[in-house]
């Protein structure tokens, strides 16, 4: 066969790969491999010029009878019938059709059946006569045979589908063919003397096998035969329909005719090998020079020529640039006034993600229970549905609280054991507290408690729900300890009309008082906190000495009658002897009179929400207290007080009732809204959005309905994944070998590397590029004392993302800042390093977006290298993105090479530089990038800091107009330090290698 030009869809599995040496190639294949078969099944009929010329058989099992002789033109018909009918002896066969023969074989009957009359005198028949016998029978029988009898051939088969629709109103017609080669013998003219001798020999050997004349020339001719398998034809027609829809939407044409080529291997997998013929008609809005295209296609209508002509005769649309205002507003705020504190890290940085609570009697569930209790207090004994009062958990805490829990790890461990909080895979029983090894069960105590970068100390970080339960308990513990330190005086009032006091001086040592205080705390904490919603405020008592002397006798009588007493103990912080005071709570009016005079002391006992306020110094030294919280001793009035109703214990401030009514009214208004209120503490209300984001774990992709096979394996070993909201991106860190050795030595010796001039180079690739393809170039151009960060943005290769969420340039800026914050926490990079950014096309736009939000928080920015970058999404780019989006939506998912070819033709790239094997980007990833870019905002006069910028623009491998480079230079605040050059770009890797040496 003549060699053909390689098309863009060229594959080595072509006709040359499965070349057939003879029309009876199946017999040669079985004889060479010595495979014996006992059943011969007719599989295909070969047509040449509309006439059936050859009947082919495929063997299924051994042994193989001699039905053909190599290079012969005759078949042993008796052997064929004997195998098909499973008859061992030569017998007479009755005539039947193929349909009946198939029914007999399926039914497994032992009847002798045949499909031709056999003469006993003539044991062989030519293949032409055999084909005629089949054609005389039922044609539908041929179709039934090909549908139900399996093809056991080990050779790859080629299929051709002809799609035709000459008139739009007429239905589409399909024709299905197979291709093979047939040997034809070209007889040469013999001399007159030898012609009579040749005729005599031909008549003598008419009944034997004829090998042909040795002087005849043998020629192999391609022949097409029809294919009747309806199931296979329907599969091929669906694929062709997808191809036609893709071509019509991608190139604005109407396909009239094409011939698609497919191959099916021995595993029944279908491969698309290209298009052989193409007849098209152009739409009115097609961006081509239509008349020139039609003239060129008349001479050559191949698909390869069509792709070449598209690049030659594409019209360029001249559009006026859209005017952009000087300032851009978003949510009533200027972009230039956005602060760096809005870039919140979106990953759980807590230490308790794997911890669970054995008994759900603490934390947020208890908060919800308190809200229901307040409702019952004001609305009677109504049964309220607790689901309506579900609390939305906050997802941000101060980083100081995390460090505080690590510093006070022993106290936090006691709180966790008290609330029965352990890891999911705990090796200990929940009741055996004495046998628990805290080092194994609570490893968070070994985490670092210091930060090298002070601004990170004041950041608010994200936590998950499990961490929130633990940190809420820890915060409550710290609040209680701080409130105890701040309390100076605390009294418990009684309901009597006159208040009598009796003082008794007791001199005890500090050790005895502390033991007594601890025993009272353990014994009476649970009972007091059940009846009191808040700790009692400081109350100043103003009583006269005369009233105390008058009622002294009454107190003695009442003490004898009740035989119950309780004590108020002074604070145990001082070393002086302690004084105990005995009194009776029997006057409510005196409590109401005295609390009006103590409004100035309300601020000393404020219940503050540590989870949202943050930045408070928990290590503040306690002040010496004169009187501590009232604790009741065993016996006395303790049991009587436990039986009292809660109405005797009220808030000390005068506005407590009004505050609770306002809080309940606010909760009622928010039941039907899309926002809920979170209550922790009586004096602070914080609103958080109702939607909560779940964190992504790359090791458990099935939890988020991401099949593992959707993320291809990365061929690099040192690639890490970074989780951010609903996506995960891979990143790779390159360092000089000498730098790695120095860092290890410094870490062992405890030295700090902040004084060295270390630079960080961050690279972001183009629209659909894979940043890891630039790994070799980066390794060759890396310099000492330099770290290079390669990463893929959501939608690009090896990334996990949610296709239902659109990520604009602000989200990408948050992602980039979160990654840098995590690397700073791991001591891989530092805040005082020199940062340099390289952005190629789409990556350049994201780099400029990040510069608008970073402001002055990165102290040293060495410069920006922007290649084919842009700062606005104009009409031309929007039209290109929408056209690409429409094409990628209709492109078949199992043919990624079509997406590569379309984009390469769009960016004026003449060679196939991107390979799905090395850049496994999916069609959903392309759509995710396009949707995010369309929703992004333009960048104008937003970067306040003066940064040196180098701009490069090329005519190839670029979908952006050169005007974008001028706009970047005009809009940047560093206009004097901005260099712009125009280069004749070729291959992306070669261009970048030339620019890296000067930039890094």
Distances (CA, A) of 941 to 325, 851, 856: 10, 11, 15
Choice between 640 and 253, residue whose per-residue pLDDT is larger = 253
Mean pLDDT of 494-508: 40
Mean pLDDT of 605-610: 36
* pLDDT at 589 (0 to 100): 43
pLDDT band at 793, cuts 50/70/90?
very high
Secondary structure letter of residue 511 according to DSSP: H
Ranges of each domain in the chain: 25-148, 157-312, 349-482, 490-654, 718-747+756-999
d(CA 13, CA 660): 79
Q: Is-above-0.75 flag for pTM? A: no
How many C-beta atoms surround the C-beta of residue 369 within 10 A? 13
* Exposed/middle/buried for residue 84 (C-beta within 10 Å: 0-12, 13-18, 19+): buried
Chain centre distance of CA 775: 23
pLDDT band at 764, cuts 50/70/90?
very high
* Range in 20-34, 101-115, 765-779, 924-938 the model is least confident about: 20-34
- Beta strands (DSSP E) in 373-527 are 396-398, 421-423, 460-462, 502-505
Task: Supply the Cα-derived Rg of the chain in whole angstroms.
Answer: 44
Q: Give the list of residues 6+ apart from residue 104 with CB closer than 8 angstroms, or none.
A: 96, 111, 113
* pLDDT at 790 (0 to 100): 92
* pLDDT at 792 (0 to 100): 92
Cα dihedral value 20, 21, 26, 28, nearest 10: -150
Secondary structure letter of residue 704 according to DSSP: G
Mean pLDDT of 19-39: 42
**Strand-pair category, 720-724 with 396-398:** unpaired
Mean pLDDT of 871-877: 85
* Structural tokens at position 87: 């008859």
pLDDT band at 923, cuts 50/70/90?
confident
Q: Could you read off the pLDDT of 949-967 as tens digits, one per residue?
A: 888 887 677 888 777 777 7
* pLDDT at 219 (0 to 100): 65
Q: Could you read off the pLDDT of 578-603 as tens digits, one per residue?
A: 433 333 344 444 444 444 444 444 33
Q: Give the list of residues 6+ apart from residue 483 with CB closer than 8 angstroms, or none.
A: 535, 605, 607
How many C-beta atoms surround the C-beta of residue 43 within 10 A? 18
* Structural tokens at position 595: 């609390």
Mean pLDDT of 237-258: 88
* pLDDT at 344 (0 to 100): 36
Mean pLDDT of 203-218: 43
Helix 139-148 vs helix 98-107: angle between axes, to the nearest 10 degrees? 30
Q: Got the DSSP string for 520-578?
A: HHHHHHHHHHHH-SSPPPP------HHHHHHTHHHHHHHHHHH----EEPBPSSS-SPP
Q: Give the list of residues 6+ apart from residue 268 with CB closer than 8 angstroms, or none.
A: none
* pLDDT at 843 (0 to 100): 92
* pLDDT at 762 (0 to 100): 93
Q: Give the list of residues 6+ apart from residue 585 with CB closer than 8 angstroms, or none.
A: 492, 493, 494, 495, 496, 637, 641, 648
* pLDDT at 224 (0 to 100): 65
* pLDDT at 800 (0 to 100): 85
* pLDDT at 247 (0 to 100): 85
**Strand-pair category, 685-689 with 720-724:** unpaired
Mean pLDDT of 496-500: 40
* pLDDT at 27 (0 to 100): 45
pLDDT band at 375, cuts 50/70/90?
very low
Pick from 834, 843, 891: nearest CA to 865: 843
H-helix or E-strand containing 837?
A: strand 834-840
Choice between 512 and 874, residue whose per-residue pLDDT is larger = 874
CB 53 within 8 Å of CB 27:
no
Secondary structure letter of residue 734 according to DSSP: E
Mean pLDDT of 489-497: 42
Choice between 382 and 290, residue whose per-residue pLDDT is larger = 290
Q: Could you read off the pLDDT of 518-529 as tens digits, one per residue?
A: 555 554 554 454
Phi, psi for 249 (deg, rounded to 5): -85, -30
pLDDT band at 791, cuts 50/70/90?
very high
Per-residue pLDDT at 973 exceeds 50: yes
Whole-number average pLDDT of the chain? 62
Domain 718-747+756-999 class, CATH top level: alpha beta
Q: Could you read off the pLDDT of 55-98 as tens digits, one per residue?
A: 444 444 434 444 444 444 455 545 555 544 444 444 444 444 44
d(CA 949, CA 158): 56
Mean pLDDT of 762-791: 87
Chain centre distance of CA 132: 62
* Range in 229-238, 273-282, 749-758 the model is least confident about: 749-758
């Amino acid at each position: 066969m003549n060699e053909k030009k390689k098309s863009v869809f060229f594959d080595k599995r072509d006709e040359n790969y499965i070349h057939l040496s003879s029309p009876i190639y199946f017999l040669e294949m079985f004889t060479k491999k010595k495979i014996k078969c006992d059943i011969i099944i007719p599989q295909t009929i070969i047509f040449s010029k509309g006439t059936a010329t050859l009947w082919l058989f495929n063997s299924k099992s051994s042994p193989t009878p001699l039905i053909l002789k190599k290079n012969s033109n005759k078949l042993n018909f008796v052997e064929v019938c004997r195998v098909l009918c499973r008859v061992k002896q030569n017998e007479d066969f009755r005539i039947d059709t193929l349909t009946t023969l198939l029914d007999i074989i399926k039914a497994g009957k032992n009847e002798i059946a045949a499909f031709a009359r056999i003469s006993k005198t003539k044991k062989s028949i030519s293949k032409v006569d055999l084909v005629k016998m089949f054609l005389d029978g039922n044609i539908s029988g041929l179709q039934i045979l090909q549908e139900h009898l399996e093809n056991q051939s080990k050779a790859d088969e080629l299929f051709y589908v002809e799609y035709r629709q000459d008139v739009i109103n007429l239905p589409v017609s399909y024709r299905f063919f197979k291709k093979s080669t047939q040997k034809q013998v070209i007889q040469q003219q013999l001399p007159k003397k030898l012609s009579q001798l040749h005729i005599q020999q031909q008549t003598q050997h008419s009944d034997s096998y004829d090998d042909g004349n040795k002087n005849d020339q043998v020629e192999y001719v391609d022949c097409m035969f029809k294919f009747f398998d309806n199931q296979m034809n329907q599969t091929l027609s669906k694929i062709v329909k997808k191809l036609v829809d893709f071509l019509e939407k991608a190139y604005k044409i109407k396909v009239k005719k094409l011939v698609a080529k497919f191959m099916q291997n021995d595993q029944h997998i279908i491969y698309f090998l290209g298009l052989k013929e193409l007849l098209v008609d152009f739409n009115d809005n097609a961006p081509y020079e239509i008349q020139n295209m039609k003239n060129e296609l008349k001479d050559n209508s191949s698909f390869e020529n069509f792709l070449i002509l598209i690049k030659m005769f594409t019209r360029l649309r001249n559009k006026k640039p859209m005017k952009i205002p000087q300032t851009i507003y978003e949510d009533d705020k200027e972009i230039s006034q956005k602060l760096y504190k809005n870039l919140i890290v979106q990953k759980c940085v807590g230490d308790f993600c794997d911890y669970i609570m054995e008994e759900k009697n603490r934390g947020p569930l208890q908060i919800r229970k308190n809200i229901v209790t307040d409702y019952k207090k004001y609305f009677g004994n109504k049964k309220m549905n607790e689901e309506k009062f579900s609390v939305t958990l906050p997802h941000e805490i101060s980083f100081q609280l995390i460090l505080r829990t690590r510093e006070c790890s022993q106290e936090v461990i006691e709180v966790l054991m008290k609330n029965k909080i352990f890891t999911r895979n705990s090796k200990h029983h929940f009741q055996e507290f004495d046998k628990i090894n805290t080092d194994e069960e609570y490893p968070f105590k070994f985490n670092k408690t210091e930060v090298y970068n002070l601004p990170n100390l004041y950041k608010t970080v994200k936590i998950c729900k499990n961490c929130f339960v633990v940190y809420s308990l820890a915060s409550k513990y710290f609040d209680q300890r701080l409130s105890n330190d701040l309390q100076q005086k605390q009294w418990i009032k009684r309901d009597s009309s006159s208040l009598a006091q009796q003082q008794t001086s007791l001199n005890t040592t500090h050790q005895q008082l502390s033991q007594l205080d601890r025993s009272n705390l353990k014994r009476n904490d649970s009972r007091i906190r059940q009846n009191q919603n808040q700790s009692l405020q400081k109350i100043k008592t103003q009583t006269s000495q005369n009233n105390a002397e008058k009622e002294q006798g009454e107190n003695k009588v009442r003490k004898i009658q009740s035989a119950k007493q309780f004590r108020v103990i002074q604070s145990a912080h001082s070393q002086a002897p302690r004084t105990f005071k005995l009194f009776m709570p029997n006057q409510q009016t005196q409590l109401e009179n005295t609390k009006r005079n103590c409004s100035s002391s309300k601020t000393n006992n404020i219940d503050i929400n540590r989870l949202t306020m943050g930045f408070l110094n928990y290590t503040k030294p306690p002040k010496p207290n004169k009187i501590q919280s009232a604790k009741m001793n065993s016996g006395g009035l303790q049991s009587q007080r436990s039986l009292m109703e809660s109405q005797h214990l009220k808030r000390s401030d005068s506005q407590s009732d009004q505050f609770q009514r306002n809080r309940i009214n606010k909760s009622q208004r928010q039941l039907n809204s899309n926002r809920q209120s979170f209550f922790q503490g009586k004096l602070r209300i914080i609103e958080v959005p109702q939607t909560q984001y779940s964190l992504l774990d790359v090791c458990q992709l099935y939890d988020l309905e991401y099949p593992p096979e959707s993320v291809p394996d990365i061929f690099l070993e040192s690639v890490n994944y970074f989780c951010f909201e609903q996506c995960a991106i891979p990143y790779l860190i390159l360092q000089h070998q000498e730098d790695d050795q120095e860092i290890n030595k410094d870490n062992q010796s405890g030295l700090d590397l902040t004084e060295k001039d270390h630079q960080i180079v961050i690279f972001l690739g183009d629209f659909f590029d894979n940043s890891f393809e630039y790994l070799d170039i980066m390794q060759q151009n890396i310099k000492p004392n330099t770290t290079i960060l390669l990463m893929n943005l959501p939608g690009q290769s090896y990334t996990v993302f949610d296709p239902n969420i659109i990520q604009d340039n602000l989200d990408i800026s948050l992602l980039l800042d979160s990654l840098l914050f995590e690397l700073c926490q791991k001591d891989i990079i530092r805040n005082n390093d020199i940062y340099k950014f390289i952005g190629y096309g789409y990556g350049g736009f994201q780099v400029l977006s990040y510069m608008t939000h970073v402001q002055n928080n990165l102290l040293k920015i060495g410069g920006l290298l922007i290649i084919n970058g842009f700062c606005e999404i104009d009409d031309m780019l929007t039209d290109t993105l929408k056209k690409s989006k429409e094409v990628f939506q209709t492109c078949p998912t199992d043919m990624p090479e079509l997406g590569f070819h379309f984009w390469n033709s769009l960016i004026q790239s003449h060679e196939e530089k991107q390979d799905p094997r090395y850049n496994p980007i999916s069609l959903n990833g392309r759509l995710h990038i396009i949707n995010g870019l369309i929703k992004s905002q333009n960048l104008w006069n937003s970067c306040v800091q003066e940064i040196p910028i180098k701009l490069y623009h090329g005519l190839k491998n670029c979908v952006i107009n050169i005007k974008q480079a001028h706009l970047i230079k005009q809009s940047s605040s560093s206009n004097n330090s901005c260099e712009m050059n125009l280069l004749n770009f070729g291959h992306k890797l070669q261009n970048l290698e030339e620019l890296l040496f000067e930039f890094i």
